[in-house]
Structure 1
Amino acid sequence: MSKYFPTQEIGSLKKPSWLLNVVKNPDVSKKDKVKARNEAALLNIKTLEDIGLDIVYDGEVRRVEMYEEPVRYVKGFEFAGRVRSWDNKYYNKARVTGQIGYKENFHEEEFEFIKENAKRDIKVPVTGAYTLADWSYNEYYKSKGDLVMALAKKVVRPLVQDLVKQGAKIIQIDEPAATTHPSEMEIFRESINESVKGVNSKIVVHACFSGNDYEALAPQMPEIRAQQYTLEFANRDTWNLGVNDKERKGYHVLKLFKEYGFKGEIGIGVTDVHVDKIETPQLIRDRIIYSSKALGDPSKIYVNPDCGLRTRTRSVAFEKLKAMVEGAKMARVAIST
């Protein structure tokens, strides 16, 4: 983008209660459920654009959940039951009982609708192979690595290729499990590279902390075929204003990325998705300015929440995004004076 510090969401937003009432009601027709999902998608797109985000999606309003949604459409999986993930949320975990296979572009209708209705740039979130494997019971493949590679080659890559054929220019591969097992970072690296092999679009990788402050990820970043990483920083940072190392302790690892030779973009998380407290635009401004200096190039900094905002109420999520957009504006002014 031509301006510094473009703003974007990571993906998920909490679904409106009225939508859930409609889609869960067995007496509502399929046609009316489709209409309700379209209305909810339009509402999210318009709200995100009105807030001022430069890159948008629909809040993943049609998706059940980032793991369960793709697994529903992949051969070789059988659901085993619900398990707890984080923030007291649950997901329907599956067993891999047969050879993995791609059925269809399960985001086709979703993306087509967004493409027709969004006025801003669009980034399509896709759950990555490593996370799909890590969050599943492997009862078929010889090793976890074999399962990861099968998912990368036979599911994620054809899905991404189909989305690009549809016109997707930015694909975000969501990998919240990426750094949970530091000893498996080479598997993760190769899974991304296999997933995007031959793909002609901008590739973004989203990964959460998982306890090791990205130190395991940093050495792999230059070898992964991704132009941008959207990462989580705010929930490790202080709430104090300032652009020094003491106040911006959550962003120190940016210097490590530079040391390892990563030359791409970083989408810095500037809002904590685990709390309702709203960051001030001034705090977000300082986080952006510090990150810009730490990475050494303001043109490489994008601005986003730490992760998807689905665990927050819609009102809190939108207030956080408004503060984020305002903070980015303030940061642009600050570095130009």
Structure 2
Amino acid sequence: MSKNYVIGFPRIGEKRELKKVLEQYWAKQTDFDEVKYVAESLRKRHWTYQKEAKIDFIASNDFSYYDNMLDTTILLGAIPQRFQHLKNEELYFAMARGNQDSVAMEMTKWFNTNYHYIVPEISKDTKFALNSKKVIEEYKEAKELEINTKINLIGAITYLGLSKSVDNSDVFAHINSVVDVYKELLLEISKLDEEIVVEFAEPLFVKDLDTKVLSLLKPVYDALSSVAPNIKIVVTTYFEHSNEATKILVNTPIWALGLDFIHGSKNLEALEIIKNSNKVLIAGVIDGRNIWKSNFEDKLALLNKISNVISKENIIIGTSCSLLHVPFTLNYEEKLDSEIKSWLAFATEKLKELSLVTKQFFDLKLSLDDNANIKKNAEENAKRKISTKIHNAKVQDEIKNLKVFQRADKFEDRIKVQREFFKYDALATTTIGSFPQTPEIRENRKQYKANAISKEQYEAEIKKYIDDCVEFQDEIGLDVLVHGEPERNDMVEYFGELMEGFAFTQNAWVQSYGSRCVKPPVIFGDVSRPNPMTVEWIKYAQSKTKKVMKGMLTGPVTILNWSFVRDDMPRNEVTKQIALAINKEVDDLQNAGIKMIQVDEAAFKEGYPLRKENIKAYEDWAVENFRLSVSCAEANTQIHTHMCYSEFNDIIKTIEAMDADVISIETARSGNRLLRIFKEVAYKQEIGPGIYDIHSPRVPSVEEMVEQIKALVEVLPKEQLWINPDCGLKTRKWPEVKESLKNLVEAVRIVKNS
């Protein structure tokens, strides 16, 4: 019997090969044949790595050019009307990125991760039909390499549950149509081999599902399991427990259940139910979301706990979720502190861990190398616990002695002072902070880090960029300016590099969406801020204009949620240390005359627990730590924040409790439905709804923006509104940025004069 199982593997490539070729293709520097060639090479390499690591269940169809949910939309033929005239790769990338004629499909976070998926658009008229051969082709591709894969699919219930109804119709009214397409696909799959495992990923099952959705589970998996006797169906869930779904799934003919025992410890409560059903359990015990080396003793203790209930013959050891959420390999980390490096495991290292844990648990023969690696694992985990790199007594004392956790003045009083101090009009214009990171800026930073140029040369280039950026904003008439952030590689990494307790990698990239990759910092110890991090650059930018210059900081909750976080301390305590460091930066900025400061919490929502029972505790400490980070701000210091991809219905009161003076939000892809929530609760603070989508290269016209602003004013009074793009402009090109922002300013002028 096969003993181990990898849910999915990173697809961007160990040196971001897919990212690079996609961006060359989009820039018309290569054709799609080259993209296909690189993609095929990556799949071959990734399957081979897993085969060499002695992984029994290796996935096919976990690869994607952009996103697996988008692939599923293509597979099911659920293509929105505005794209139906397009074909092949033009269709695919237009749906993801938009084009000059059509707005892209909405993008949002995949549960509580930093990965984004393309949201399917469903209406009562949506027709489903089998529309892609990708699943079959990739299975055959692996077969030619003599690798038998299990086939990964997004489950029908998760697909519809994560879709957006564009006409308020019930998305689950289509469940039978989606299942019919999957049945047709399974029939095709059944012809490929004598026996095939098909995995349906159903992470929606870890949320609090209503009775109606739960009632779909049995008919759906009864139907899918009956298609062909040579297909073994696995249903996987991850990121939390799925006990309600498990109780139903054990009464269907599926072959196996995949459960996450790292982030869903309550799955242990369902073991007795699984035992009585005689289903195979894929026990997710290798963490697919964090980068700390497994402690083999802990893993074996957990597996033994599971095997006290479930027979070993019915256990397969797996990853907790897809390894998509961790970097590819430690092989290229030549500059990382060797002690810290010894505590880490990325995707390829986790394959080896999975293999070793499998051998130990099932009492398989261990080689001399295996025994050496097991001994080394125990030694390195023991050393980490007592390392002097982790603990900072001064930070711990400061945290114990904290007394002030919020601003002294109420918003109603502050805003009067601020409007008098800054003298800005209704519909004030600004941007979210970053401007394009040009090849020249990246090269300048790279050369400086490599000691190829002096500090003076590096800073001269940064200042030149800031000069040009400020001059452009002044010239087009923006009201509140930013310095463009040319000195910053990433909104989290930049701050982490200037704080103690963070480590940084050379090549630990993780896919965020499409070709967009991030390199999360590693929080390994107590966090502190030795010196000011942004003050000199913002002061310099302010010296170049008479207009207000916004200081730009990343908030403590976002820094936490976009980092790999130490697992030896509660997350709320780690956040408190970061908040204290940001607090000191806010104070230094206001003392330097920078009185408008944006503390971005772009990732505030994505840290939310997936179960309602855990939400209040998260909200309490997340809000407390944001408020701590700005608690020193004086009445005439205006605090802005920014949030991405958030459905605000359920957290609007929490946003109010954060007590920022101005919040900017992404609304361009979702219309005014987000904004109406702010009106419904009589939200008092000021709001900057994004009026155009920065994730697309498309330049919106003045007329479009005028209509967008007028629509905003219908919902909220103009005195409460700021006008800005959806998000930062870092990933865009200067020509489209300049044209878009000129159109934005002109649109505001027209609305004000109408």
TM-score by length of 2: 0.41
CA distance in 2, matches of 1:191, 1:235: 30
Structure 2 match to 1:299: 719
Structure 1 match to 2:457: 32
**Deviation digits for residues 244-292 of structure 1 (CA, Å, limit 9, x no counterpart):** xxxxxx1122221122232111011001001111111122112212212
Shift of 1:308: 0.4
Write the mapping of 1:1-337 to structure 2, written as runs, cut at 5 A.
Answer: 1-25=423-447, 26-80=451-505, 81-139=508-566, 142-152=569-579, 154-182=580-608, 183=615, 184-200=618-634, 201-210=637-646, 213-236=647-670, 250-295=671-716, 297-334=717-754
Checking the alignment, whether the CA contact within 8 Å between 1:157 and 1:194 is kept in structure 2 is yes
CA distance in 1, matches of 2:607, 2:534: 29
Shift of 1:194: 1.0
CA distance in 1, matches of 2:438, 2:726: 22
> Kindly tell me: are residues 2 and 95 of structure 1, through their superposed partners in 2, closer, same or farther at Cα, counting changes over 3 Å?
closer
CA distance in 2, matches of 1:17, 1:93: 21
Shift of 1:178: 1.2
> Kindly tell me: are residues 156 and 216 of structure 1, through their superposed partners in 2, closer, same or farther at Cα, counting changes over 3 Å?
farther
Cα RMSD between the aligned structures?
1.7
CA distance in 2, matches of 1:2, 1:27: 44
Deviates more, 1:180-189 or 1:126-135: 180-189
> Kindly tell me: are residues 234 and 32 of structure 1, through their superposed partners in 2, closer, same or farther at Cα, counting changes over 3 Å?
same
AA paired with 1:40?
Y
TM-score by length of 1: 0.89
| Structure 2 portions without partners, runs of 5+ | 1-422, 609-614
CA distance in 1, matches of 2:443, 2:527: 34
CA distance in 2, matches of 1:86, 1:103: 34
**Deviation digits for residues 93-148 of structure 1 (CA, Å, limit 9, x no counterpart):** 22222111111111022112112112321111100000111112222552212211
CA distance in 1, matches of 2:514, 2:472: 25
> Kindly tell me: are residues 284 and 96 of structure 1, through their superposed partners in 2, closer, same or farther at Cα, counting changes over 3 Å?
same
AA paired with 1:222?
E
Deviates more, 1:224-233 or 1:78-87: 78-87
Shift of 1:150: 1.9
Structure 2 match to 1:246: none
Shift of 1:87: 4.5
Shift of 1:47: 0.9
> Kindly tell me: are residues 2 and 151 of structure 1, through their superposed partners in 2, closer, same or farther at Cα, counting changes over 3 Å?
closer
2:669 match: secondary structure: helix
AA paired with 2:642?
H
Checking the alignment, whether the CA contact within 8 Å between 1:173 and 1:203 is kept in structure 2 is yes
Checking the alignment, whether the CA contact within 8 Å between 1:268 and 1:303 is kept in structure 2 is yes
CA distance in 2, matches of 1:216, 1:158: 31
Structure 1 runs (4+) deviating above 6 angstroms are: none
Shift of 1:198: 2.7
CA distance in 1, matches of 2:674, 2:703: 22
CA distance in 2, matches of 1:28, 1:324: 38
Deviates more, 1:188-197 or 1:307-316: 188-197
Q: Give the structure with higher Rg (CA).
A: 2
Checking the alignment, whether the CA contact within 8 Å between 1:286 and 1:331 is kept in structure 2 is no
> Kindly tell me: are residues 331 and 260 of structure 1, through their superposed partners in 2, closer, same or farther at Cα, counting changes over 3 Å?
same
Shift of 1:59: 0.9
**Deviation digits for residues 140-177 of structure 1 (CA, Å, limit 9, x no counterpart):** 5522122112211x211111111111111111111111
Checking the alignment, whether the CA contact within 8 Å between 1:222 and 1:260 is kept in structure 2 is no
AA paired with 1:161?
D
| Structure 1 portions without partners, runs of 5+ | 237-249
**Deviation digits for residues 2-41 of structure 1 (CA, Å, limit 9, x no counterpart):** 4221110111111233333444335433222211111111
CA distance in 1, matches of 2:552, 2:512: 19
Shift of 1:294: 0.8
CA distance in 2, matches of 1:191, 1:291: 31
> Kindly tell me: are residues 255 and 14 of structure 1, through their superposed partners in 2, closer, same or farther at Cα, counting changes over 3 Å?
same
1:98 match: secondary structure: strand
**Deviation digits for residues 22-81 of structure 1 (CA, Å, limit 9, x no counterpart):** 443354332222111111110111111112111111211111211110000111111243
Structure 2 match to 1:240: none
Structure 1 match to 2:266: none
CA distance in 2, matches of 1:124, 1:86: 27
AA paired with 1:178?
F
The sequence identity of aligned pairs, in percent, is 25
AA paired with 2:638?
K
Count of paired positions: 317
CA distance in 2, matches of 1:2, 1:191: 29
Deviates more, 1:118-127 or 1:183-192: 183-192
Shift of 1:298: 1.0
2:519 match: secondary structure: strand
Deviates more, 1:93-102 or 1:17-26: 17-26
CA distance in 1, matches of 2:548, 2:605: 29
CA distance in 2, matches of 1:3, 1:97: 45
AA paired with 1:78?
A
Structure 2 match to 1:244: none
CA distance in 2, matches of 1:267, 1:311: 20
> Kindly tell me: are residues 132 and 31 of structure 1, through their superposed partners in 2, closer, same or farther at Cα, counting changes over 3 Å?
same
1:172 match: secondary structure: strand
2:428 match: secondary structure: coil
CA distance in 1, matches of 2:622, 2:711: 29
Shift of 1:92: 2.5
AA paired with 2:643?
A
AA paired with 2:698?
K
